[in-house]
Amino acid sequence: MKNNHYIGEGWKHAVLIIGALVVLLPFYMVVSISLKSQQEIQSISGGLIGAQEVQTFPVCTKMGMSEETCTMKPYVYNYWFAFKKAPIARYLLNGLFVTVSIFLIQVLIALPCAYALSKLRFYGREFIFSMVLFCLLIPVHAIALPLYVMLAKIGLVDTYAALIIPWTISVFGIFLMRQFFMTVPDELIDAARMDGMGEYSIVWKVMLPTAIPALLAFAIFSVVAHWNDYFWPRIVITGNRDLFTPPLGIREFRGGVDSDEFGPMMASIVTITVPLVVAFIIAQKRFIEGITMTGMK
């Protein structure tokens, strides 16, 4: 009986390890290519990191740099050239700026609304709540085209504003916060009013601190979604490289599998994917909790 158990456990691990290998395969591929030289990539040799032989890179000398500066190990070259070819740091900062702005505006608008919907009584409250429930059904990506037409009409295409505006209203955030505020006892708010606090300070000084766990979950949900979003930036940013978000930066690098140098391209992918993946691995418990919480509502 006991033996059986161990055999069962072994089988489970065997299945899961095969699954894990399939899941990790593209990650391995990216990291490996970002370290190896072009010849090793094309002949699929050299294992994970390649032989790392010092060599002179012709693409680099063609750009007018001396032979000396262009002689280095493949992994150094790949990452050096990736940063040389595109303003990756700028892309990352753009990504950070856009995601943080989106999140802050979402909270600024959703939190007071959620408070009013859960704790204040006023004419039309039920109507507004059903409006929120209806809007929950609308995926913003699906209405990208009319939004694009509207932004084009007011001349906002190719601006930071275009990247941020469609996401300023998060009905999902309102819904999540409202559900959370429903569990906050009315006595807490009444006590605050007794102390002479106005409704504004109640929202930001009483309700906000109680909502930290829900806010954190929402922050993870929001930041992950918008850091990784490719569709919307692809539509509204048409050519201005200064506004590129990380996914657009990756896209720019991929000049076509058959034309470009693959090492630097994969190095740029690694650089751009790493921040979120590392954040996830460090705080994975919070991430998974956050995603489940926002997922399950």
Applying the rule CB under 8 A, the residues between 16 and 35 that interact with other proteins are 16, 19-20, 22-30, 33
Please tell me the distance from the alpha carbon of residue 263 to that of residue 52, in angstroms, as a whole number. Answer: 13
Size of the site for other proteins (CB under 8 A): 96
Backbone angles phi, psi at 71, to 5 degrees: -105, 115
The nearest distance, CB 55 to other proteins, in angstroms, is 19
Out of 49, 59, 100, 109, point to the residue binding other proteins (CB under 8 A). 109
Query: Binding to other proteins by residue 162, rule CB under 8 A?
Result: no
Residues numbered 243 to 272 that lie near other proteins (CB under 8 A) are 246-247, 250-251, 254, 257, 262, 265-266, 269, 272
Query: Binding to other proteins by residue 158, rule CB under 8 A?
Result: no
Q: 109-125 burial string, b = 16+ CB within 10 Å, else e?
A: ebbbbbbbbbbeeeeee
Out of 130, 230, 240, 255, point to the residue binding other proteins (CB under 8 A). 230
User: In the complex with other proteins, which residue's Cβ is closer, 174 or 219?
Assistant: 174
Cβ atoms of 203 and 112 within 8 Å: the answer is yes
The tokens for 52 are 């790392």
Query: Binding to other proteins by residue 237, rule CB under 8 A?
Result: no
User: In the complex with other proteins, which residue's Cβ is closer, 59 or 192?
Assistant: 192
Please tell me the distance from the alpha carbon of residue 69 to that of residue 57, in angstroms, as a whole number. Answer: 10
Out of 59, 197, 276, 283, point to the residue binding other proteins (CB under 8 A). 276
Out of 56, 63, 182, 193, point to the residue binding other proteins (CB under 8 A). 193
Query: Binding to other proteins by residue 93, rule CB under 8 A?
Result: no
The continuous run of DSSP H or E covering 72 comes out as strand 71-72
Residues 6+ apart with CB under 8 A from 34: 75, 78, 79, 263, 266, 267, 269, 270
Query: Binding to other proteins by residue 178, rule CB under 8 A?
Result: no
Tell which residue, 180, 177, 173, 267, has the closest CA to residue 226.
173
Out of 152, 182, 188, 212, point to the residue binding other proteins (CB under 8 A). 152
Out of 101, 159, 228, 260, point to the residue binding other proteins (CB under 8 A). 228
The nearest distance, CB 223 to other proteins, in angstroms, is 11
72 forms beta bridges with: 55
Please tell me the distance from the alpha carbon of residue 164 to that of residue 170, in angstroms, as a whole number. Answer: 12
